[in-house]
């Protein structure tokens, strides 16, 4: 190190001396120039001051690119030389500068002359190549002369110097070959592959910083070979060796070039696992091998590969070759099982016996032989005949042997033998116990899914004597079983299970000699999902404030999982009270979000009906039902119903109430009629004095009407006024002024005519009511009397009989009250009993009118009225207040009774 | 030990049957122990011999023998290829004998002389191979299999020569090494020939070379048997 420094200083001194003072480009000089530095080592540079005393070493600084190096890393050699030492890293910049920033005018003005730099080249030492491997592959029938070598590192990052690799291949005592590359692999051409020659191979890595060699690989050249795989693999099956196959093959390369060893592997058809022949058995240069301890009547696939003896690379595996081993008689028992189903007969059950081929069938099973007998008979050695079941046509894995009907009380034993072309298998036995003799089942059965398989776990019953377990599984179209050993408590079911399909899994304990114990069942899914659809058939029975919904369960194949609950959704479209869920629905066309609010009720999975309560009357509801599993829920189709306005019992109540009210009124009326008969009779059928018995008749026989002097006691609703027959105006005025008084007077009368009585009971307003009020009154009662004001002639006033027909002015009131029948039919007045003078008038003037108290006669008279148009017309006309002619020629009548009730005015 | 066993045998004469049986067992055990010891010694000595033999019969003798067989086979194949590529009369031309061809026989009585003789013969054939290759280059297409095979057998002959030299060096480390002679030693090449003569010459060279290789193989097999003994085949597996 010291020597280096000395040399550096000497060189610098020479350089400084060689440069003339007049041609000073820089007052500083750095050394060494363009160093090649290994990353990770310390580097020391020196800066000299030359041809100036303006600055000293104390004024010098070092910087790497733009970053100044701390002064702690400086070492002052003299007043004109300054060292710096720093660690070279990957991040070290390429330029190292020495400069002075002294605050003097000369330095500031010539700053570029107080700067000198070093360009640094850095890299790592070349890494030693490792893991050198070389290979020579077979080409046609010889080994290729090109040897391919690889080493590590595969990818090296270069900084300033690339690494060159040289592969050296030395054929012992013959010649050396080499090949250079920048990669991590190389191909070396040996012209002729040096079989049986010893090779030395190594790699030398070299860059500007140095070189390094890999470890030497000294091998026999044949150890680098990789041949083609053996060809023409031929398998020979010999009938006398049902468990053996003889292999032979053709070696890929001549024996003189390479001594080969082999490896053989084989697998039965369908198996994914290879069986390897022990290496010691094939570690020779052989071309045939006998596989032994194989299963009879099984197809085996075989492959062979080879490599140079001792060292070398294994060739690829040869093409597969397959052959079936010869058949032999079955060595395993057939796997016999049962399917139990209820029989139509009440005293037993139906059993279907099934069998799978023996695990060691050793040939094609062509038939089964079966014998079923009562267990007691068996013990008595009453052997029944063997039945033959031929396996024909479609050879499925499971063969149906026999359907038998067994009784509950009897235990049966079934023995089955499988037969192939070479002989019979050992007997398989199952005992189907009577119900009384069934032994304990397994307990705590549970099924879980692991990957694509179902895992069954159980605990054995406490009873002893269990020989094995049978795990049975089934769905709507699959039935299978498998046997597990007696100490097994957990088993994976060997089947291709589908997701979303329900499987019924059963575990049967088998006791000695195949005595079947009671099964334990469980249902399971490999994977659950949301149901395919919700309940679709919804039947609703709406009422007033509730609706009873009934739906059908989802078909099993659409459930796709265990239904955990049903959720009933319903909404009335608008109401939001009591709603507990909100669904957001997006209209894809308008992108307007609308909200549908509905109520939901969740019920159990076993519930298929529900009554929705607190519904609104007379409202249309939409409902749908969602079915849920642990994986999700699916809604069914919607269903609409409308609640009733009235409940049927409400209608009944209303009808009953109305009926009762009506009945009560009727009864009350009847009671009133019964207890107030006299009053009613007097009110409605007052006693009318018989005018015929009146003394007036005797008083004026010619004018019977006028002869009778009106008695105050007889005045009722009719006011008889003393007016001038021609002075209608004064009459009305007088009438207006006196009418209340008269009314009061008449109302106080105890005995009044029918009309008068009616009038007395009416209010004053009624008596002077206008036509509107009259309409109302007409609605209320048909017996209401229409008041009339009758202006009598002067003759009448004085009760002076007159020979001339009395000129009477008939003036009707403004009341719209209907006229009494007697008013419209004056001829009926006698019947009603208070129109004495008018009656008399009628009796005297109208031939249409009768004069009888007899109701029949009255009726007849009413009928007769129909034939009196003149009177009717006269009435109408009087209402218009026009008919002077009528007044002259018409009957002298103050009012007309109404026939059959009232008439609207 | 032998003595105590003898005493035991003397005592047994005075014992009853049961005791007799016990002492008989003791004698048997002693004999078995002795036999085992003897066997161990034999095996150990055999191993020592085998180890010494292994040093000589192993590398490079066995690979050299294998290489000789390979070259012999390649020479046989080459003659077939040669005949096939020479057109009509190929069988006839190979029955002619010529002078100036190296002797296929191995001379010498000692292994060193024999190995040296092999080395010399192989050296002598080298210029002949070159001559045949050159002649056939004029007669065959450039991509002819014959040319490729001729080239290979020439290289292979050098490989074999190298291996023989290694065997020689291994067996006789104190002797001067067998150095290669690019000139081919004492052999002389024939004068310019016509095509028929070239064909005859080529075939004779190849046939003679085949004979030489046959002799080399036989010799090396003999040498292997000498060096490796009866376990040669087994050792062959490991080397």
- Summarize pLDDT for A109-142 with one digit per residue, the tens: 888 889 999 999 888 888 899 999 999 999 989 9
pLDDT at A733: 44
The edge-to-edge listing of strands for the beta sheet with A335-342 is: A335-342, A348-356, A398-407
Residue from the list B66, B152, B158 with its beta carbon closest to the beta carbon of A196: B66
C-beta separation of A609 from A548 below 8 A: yes
Question: Which comes out higher in pLDDT, residue A515 or A812?
Answer: A515
Q: Give which of A153, A122, A118 is closest to A45, Cα–Cα.
A: A118
Given a cut of 60, whether residue A579 has pLDDT beyond it is: no
Please tell me whether the peptide bond between A525 and the residue prior to it is cis, using omega within 30 degrees of 0: no
Question: Tokens 């080239």 belong to which residue?
Answer: B151
Contact B159 A197 (CB under 8 A): yes
Q: Which residue of B has its CA nearest to A194?
A: B159
Q: Which secondary-structure segment (H or E) carries A840?
A: helix A836-845
pLDDT at A484: 93
Residue B64 near chain A (CB below 8 Å): yes
Residue from the list B63, B72, B237 with its beta carbon closest to the beta carbon of A196: B63
Given a cut of 60, whether residue A821 has pLDDT beyond it is: no
Residue from A139, A142, A170, A173 whose CB has the most chain B CBs within 10 Å, to mutate: A173
Mean pLDDT of chain B: 78
Residue A140 near chain B (CB below 8 Å): no
Contact A173 B69 (CB under 8 A): no
Nearest-angstrom CA–CA distance, A297 and A245 = 11
pLDDT at A395: 56
Contact A174 B63 (CB under 8 A): no
B 139-158 residues with CB below 8 A of A?
Answer: 151-152, 155-156, 158
Kindly indicate the confidence band of residue A868, based on its pLDDT and cuts at 50, 70 and 90. very low
pLDDT at B228: 81
pLDDT in tens, A376-433: 776 556 667 888 998 876 656 788 888 888 887 788 899 999 999 999 999 999 998 8
pLDDT at A851: 43
Question: Tokens 């679709």 belong to which residue?
Answer: A536
Nearest-angstrom CA–CA distance, B144 and A26 = 73
Note the ipTM here.
0.77
Average pLDDT of span A334-351: 81
Residue from the list B63, B155, B166 with its beta carbon closest to the beta carbon of A173: B166
Contact A197 B63 (CB under 8 A): yes
Query: What percent of chain A has pLDDT above 70?
Result: 69
Residue from the list A174, A220, A310 with its beta carbon closest to the beta carbon of B158: A174
pLDDT in tens, A103-113: 888 888 888 88
pLDDT at B215: 95
Contact A171 B156 (CB under 8 A): no
Average pLDDT of span B144-156: 92
Given a cut of 90, whether residue A873 has pLDDT beyond it is: no
pLDDT at A446: 92
Given a cut of 90, whether residue A87 has pLDDT beyond it is: yes
Average pLDDT of span B183-203: 83
Nearest-angstrom CA–CA distance, B69 and A35 = 59
Average pLDDT of span A211-226: 93
Contact B67 A196 (CB under 8 A): yes
Beta strands A502-511 and A466-474 are antiparallel
Question: Which DSSP string corresponds to chain B?
Answer: -HHHHHHHHHHGGGS-HHHHHHHHHHHHHHHHHHHHHHHHHHHHHHHHHHHHHHHHHTTTHHHHHHHHHHHHHHHHHHHHHHHHHS-TTHHHHTT---SSPPP-SPP-SSHHHHHHHHHHHHHHHHHHHHHHHHHHHHHS-TT-HHHHHHHHHHHHHHHHHHHHHHHHHHH-TTSPP----TT-TT--PPPP--HHHHHHHHHHHHHHHHHHHHHHHHHHHHHHHHHHGGGHHHHHHH-
Nearest-angstrom CA–CA distance, A68 and A61 = 7
Nearest-angstrom CA–CA distance, A790 and A722 = 10
C-beta separation of A171 from B162 below 8 A: yes
Q: Which secondary-structure segment (H or E) carries A642?
A: strand A639-642
Distance to chain B for A256, nearest Cα, Å: 5
Nearest-angstrom CA–CA distance, A325 and A176 = 55
Task: Classify burial at B53, counting beta carbons within 10 Å of its beta carbon; exposed 0-12, middle 13-18, buried 19 or more.
Answer: middle
Nearest-angstrom CA–CA distance, A633 and A564 = 9
pLDDT at A112: 87
A 287-316 residues with CB below 8 A of B?
Answer: 309-310
SS3 per residue for A293-342: CCCCCCEEEEEEEEEECCCCECCCCCCCEEEECCCCCCCCCCEEEEEEEE
Given a cut of 90, whether residue A337 has pLDDT beyond it is: yes
C-beta separation of A848 from A864 below 8 A: yes
Nearest-angstrom CA–CA distance, B117 and B119 = 5
Contact A196 B73 (CB under 8 A): no
Q: Where are the alpha helices (DSSP H) in A45-157?
A: 105-109
Q: Which residue of B has its CA nearest to A173?
A: B162
Contact A256 B60 (CB under 8 A): no
* 3-class SS of residue A12: helix
CB pairs A-B closer than 8 Å: 47
Q: Give which of A484, A477, A482, A483 is closest to A503, Cα–Cα.
A: A477
Contact B70 A256 (CB under 8 A): yes
Nearest-angstrom CA–CA distance, A449 and A473 = 14
Nearest-angstrom CA–CA distance, A763 and A744 = 10
Residue from the list A172, A256, A309 with its beta carbon closest to the beta carbon of B166: A172
The sign of the dihedral angle between the CA atoms of A747, A753, A757, A759 is negative
How big is the CA angle at A375 (ends A370 and A379), to the nearest 5 degrees? Answer: 105
Contacts of A174 in chain B (CB under 8 A): 158-159, 162
Given a cut of 70, whether residue B94 has pLDDT beyond it is: yes
Q: Which residue of B has its CA nearest to A254?
A: B70
Residue A196 near chain B (CB below 8 Å): yes
The sign of the dihedral angle between the CA atoms of A762, A763, A768, A773 is negative
Contact B156 A192 (CB under 8 A): yes
* 3-class SS of residue A37: strand
**A827-866 burial by CB neighbour count: b if 16+ within 10 A, else e?**
bbbbbbbbbbbbbbbbbbbbebbbbeeeeebbeebbebbe
Residue A169 near chain B (CB below 8 Å): no
Given a cut of 60, whether residue A857 has pLDDT beyond it is: no
pLDDT at B196: 87
Q: Give which of A233, A12, A207 is closest to A122, Cα–Cα.
A: A207
Q: Give which of A566, A577, A584 is closest to A614, Cα–Cα.
A: A577
Kindly indicate the confidence band of residue A861, based on its pLDDT and cuts at 50, 70 and 90. very low
Kindly indicate the confidence band of residue A346, based on its pLDDT and cuts at 50, 70 and 90. low
Nearest-angstrom CA–CA distance, B85 and B92 = 14
Given a cut of 90, whether residue A813 has pLDDT beyond it is: no
- Record the pTM: 0.58
Question: Tokens 């609706």 belong to which residue?
Answer: A547
pLDDT at A860: 44
Q: For chain B, how many residues are written?
A: 239
B35's tokens: 């036999």
Query: What percent of chain A has pLDDT above 90?
Result: 37
Given a cut of 80, whether residue A718 has pLDDT beyond it is: no
C-beta separation of A653 from A675 below 8 A: no
The winner for highest mean pLDDT among A802-806, A885-889, B94-98 is B94-98
DSSP A219: E
Average pLDDT of span A349-371: 90
Contacts of B156 in chain A (CB under 8 A): 192
Given a cut of 80, whether residue B35 has pLDDT beyond it is: no
pLDDT at A11: 52
A793's tokens: 């002639």
Nearest-angstrom CA–CA distance, A199 and A344 = 89
Kindly indicate the confidence band of residue A63, based on its pLDDT and cuts at 50, 70 and 90. very high
Given a cut of 50, whether residue A862 has pLDDT beyond it is: no
Mean pLDDT of chain A: 76
pLDDT at A376: 75
Contacts of B163 in chain A (CB under 8 A): 196-197
Average pLDDT of span A276-294: 92
Given a cut of 70, whether residue A21 has pLDDT beyond it is: no
Average pLDDT of span A299-323: 93
In 10 A of CB A414, how many CB atoms? 22
pLDDT in tens, A670-699: 888 888 878 878 777 777 777 777 666 555
Mean pLDDT is lowest, of A429-438, A863-872, B150-159, for A863-872
Residue B80 near chain A (CB below 8 Å): no
Contact A191 B151 (CB under 8 A): yes
């Amino acid at each position: 190190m010291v020597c280096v420094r000395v040399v550096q200083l000497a060189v610098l001194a020479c350089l400084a001396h060689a440069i003339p003072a007049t041609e000073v480009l820089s007052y500083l000089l750095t050394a060494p120039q363009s160093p090649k530095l290994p990353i990770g080592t310390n580097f020391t540079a020196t800066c000299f001051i030359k041809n100036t005393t303006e600055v000293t070493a104390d004024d010098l600084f070092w910087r790497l690119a733009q970053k100044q190096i701390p002064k702690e890393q400086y070492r002052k050699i003299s007043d004109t030389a300054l060292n710096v030492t720093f660690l070279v890293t990957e991040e070290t910049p390429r330029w190292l500068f020495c400069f002075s920033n002294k605050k003097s005018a000369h330095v500031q003005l010539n700053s570029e002359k107080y700067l000198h730099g070093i360009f640094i080249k850095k890299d790592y030492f070349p890494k030693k190549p490792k893991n050198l491997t070389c290979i020579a592959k077979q080409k046609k029938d010889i080994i290729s002369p090109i040897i391919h070598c690889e080493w590590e590192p595969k990818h090296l990052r270069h900084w300033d110097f690339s690494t060159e690799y040289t592969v050296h291949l030395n054929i012992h005592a013959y010649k050396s070959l080499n090949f250079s590359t920048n990669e991590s692999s190389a191909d070396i051409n040996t012209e002729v592959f040096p079989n049986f020659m010893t090779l030395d191979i190594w790699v030398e890595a070299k860059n500007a910083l140095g070189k390094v060699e890999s470890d030497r690989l000294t091998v026999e050249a044949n150890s680098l070979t990789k041949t083609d795989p053996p060809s023409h693999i031929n398998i020979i099956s010999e009938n006398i060796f049902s468990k053996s196959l003889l292999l032979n093959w053709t070696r890929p390369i001549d024996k003189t070039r390479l001594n080969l060893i082999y490896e053989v592997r084989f697998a039965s058809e369908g198996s994914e696992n290879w069986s390897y022949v022990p290496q010691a058995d094939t570690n020779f240069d052989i071309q045939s091998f006998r596989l032994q301890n194989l299963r009879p009547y099984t197809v085996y696939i075989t492959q062979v590969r080879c490599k140079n003896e001792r060292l070398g690379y294994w060739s690829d595996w040869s093409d597969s070759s397959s052959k079936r081993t010869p058949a032999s008689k079955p060595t395993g028992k057939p796997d016999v099982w049962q399917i139990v189903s209820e029989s139509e007969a009440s005293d037993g059950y139906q059993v279907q016996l099934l069998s799978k081929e023996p695990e060691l069938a050793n040939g094609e099973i062509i038939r089964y032989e079966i014998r079923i007998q009562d267990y007691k008979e068996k013990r008595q050695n009453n052997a029944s005949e063997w039945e033959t079941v031929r396996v024909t046509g479609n050879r499925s894995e499971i063969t149906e042997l026999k359907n038998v009907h067994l009784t509950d009380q009897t235990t049966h034993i079934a023995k089955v033998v499988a037969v192939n072309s070479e002989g019979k298998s050992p007997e398989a036995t199952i005992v189907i116990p009577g119900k009384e003799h069934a032994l304990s089942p397994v307990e705590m059965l549970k099924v879980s899914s692991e990957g694509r398989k179902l895992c069954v776990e159980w605990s054995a019953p406490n009873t002893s004597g269990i020989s094995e377990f049978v795990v049975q599984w089934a769905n709507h179209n699959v039935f299978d079983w498998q046997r597990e050993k007696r100490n097994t408590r957990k088993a994976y079911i060997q089947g291709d299970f589908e997701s979303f399909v329900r499987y019924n899994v059963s575990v049967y304990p088998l006791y000695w000699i195949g005595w079947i114990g009671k099964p334990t069942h469980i249902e399971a899914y490999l994977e659950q999902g949301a149901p395919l659809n919700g309940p679709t058939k919804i039947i609703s029975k709406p009422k007033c404030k509730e609706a009873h919904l009934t739906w059908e369960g989802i078909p099993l194949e659409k459930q796709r999982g265990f239904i955990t609950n049903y959720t009933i959704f319903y909404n009335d479209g608008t109401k939001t009270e009591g709603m507990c869920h909100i669904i957001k629905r997006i209209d894809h066309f308008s992108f307007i979000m609308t909200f549908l609010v509905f109520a939901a009720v969740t019920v159990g999975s076993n519930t298929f009906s529900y009554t929705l309560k607190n519904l609104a009357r007379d409202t249309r509801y939409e409902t749908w039902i969602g079915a849920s599993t642990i994986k999700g829920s699916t809604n069914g189709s919607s269903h609409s119903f409308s609640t009733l306005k009235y409940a049927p019992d409400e209608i009944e109540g209303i009808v009953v109430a109305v009926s009762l009210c009506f009945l009560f009124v009727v009864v009350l009326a009847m009671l009133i009629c019964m207890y107030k008969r006299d009053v009613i009779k007097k009110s409605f059928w007052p006693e009318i004095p018989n005018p015929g018995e009146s003394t007036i008749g005797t008083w004026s026989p010619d004018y019977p009407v006028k002869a009778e002097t009106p008695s105050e006691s007889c005045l009722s609703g009719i006011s008889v006024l003393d007016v001038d027959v021609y002075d209608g105006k004064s009459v009305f005025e007088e009438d207006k002024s006196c009418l209340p008084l008269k009314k009061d007077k008449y109302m106080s009368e105890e005995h009044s005519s029918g009309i008068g009585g009616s009038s007395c009971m009416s209010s004053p307003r009624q008596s002077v009511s206008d036509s509107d009020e009259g309409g109302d009154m007409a609605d209320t009662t048909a017996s209401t009397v229409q008041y009339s004001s009758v202006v009598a002639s002067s003759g009448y006033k004085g009760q002076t009989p007159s020979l001339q027909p009395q000129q009477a002015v008939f003036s009707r009131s403004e009341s719209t009250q209907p006229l009494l029948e007697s008013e419209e039919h004056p001829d009926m007045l006698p019947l009603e009993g208070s129109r004495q003078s008018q009656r008399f008038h009628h009796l005297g003037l109208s031939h249409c009118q009768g004069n009888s108290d007899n109701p029949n006669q009255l009726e007849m008279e009413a009928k007769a009225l129909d034939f009196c148009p003149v009177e009717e017309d006269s009435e109408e006309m009087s209402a218009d207040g026009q008919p002077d002619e009528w007044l002259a020629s018409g009957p002298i009548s103050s009012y007309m009774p109404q026939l059959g009730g009232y008439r609207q005015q | 030990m032998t003595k105590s066993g003898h005493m035991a045998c003397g005592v047994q004469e005075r014992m009853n049957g049961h005791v007799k049986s016990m002492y008989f067992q003791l004698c048997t055990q002693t004999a078995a122990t002795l036999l085992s010891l003897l066997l161990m010694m034999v095996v150990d000595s055999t191993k020592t011999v085998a180890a010494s033999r292994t040093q000589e019969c192993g590398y490079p003798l066995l690979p050299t023998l294998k290489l000789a067989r390979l070259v012999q086979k390649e020479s046989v194949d080459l003659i077939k290829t040669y005949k096939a590529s020479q057109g009509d009369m190929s069988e006839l031309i190979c029955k002619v004998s010529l002078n100036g061809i190296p002797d296929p026989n191995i001379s010498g009585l000692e292994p060193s002389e024999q190995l040296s003789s092999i080395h010399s013969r192989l050296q002598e054939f080298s210029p002949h191979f070159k001559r045949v290759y050159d002649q056939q280059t004029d007669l065959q297409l450039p991509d002819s299999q014959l040319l490729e095979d001729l080239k290979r057998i020439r290289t292979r002959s050098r490989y074999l020569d190298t291996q023989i030299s290694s065997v020689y060096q291994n067996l006789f480390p104190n002797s001067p090494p067998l150095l290669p002679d690019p000139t081919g030693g004492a052999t002389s090449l024939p004068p310019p020939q016509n095509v028929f003569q070239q064909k005859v010459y080529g075939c004779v060279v190849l046939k003679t070379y085949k004979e030489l290789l046959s002799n080399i193989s036989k010799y090396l097999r003999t040498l292997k048997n000498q060096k490796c003994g009866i376990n040669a085949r087994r050792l062959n597996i490991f080397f």
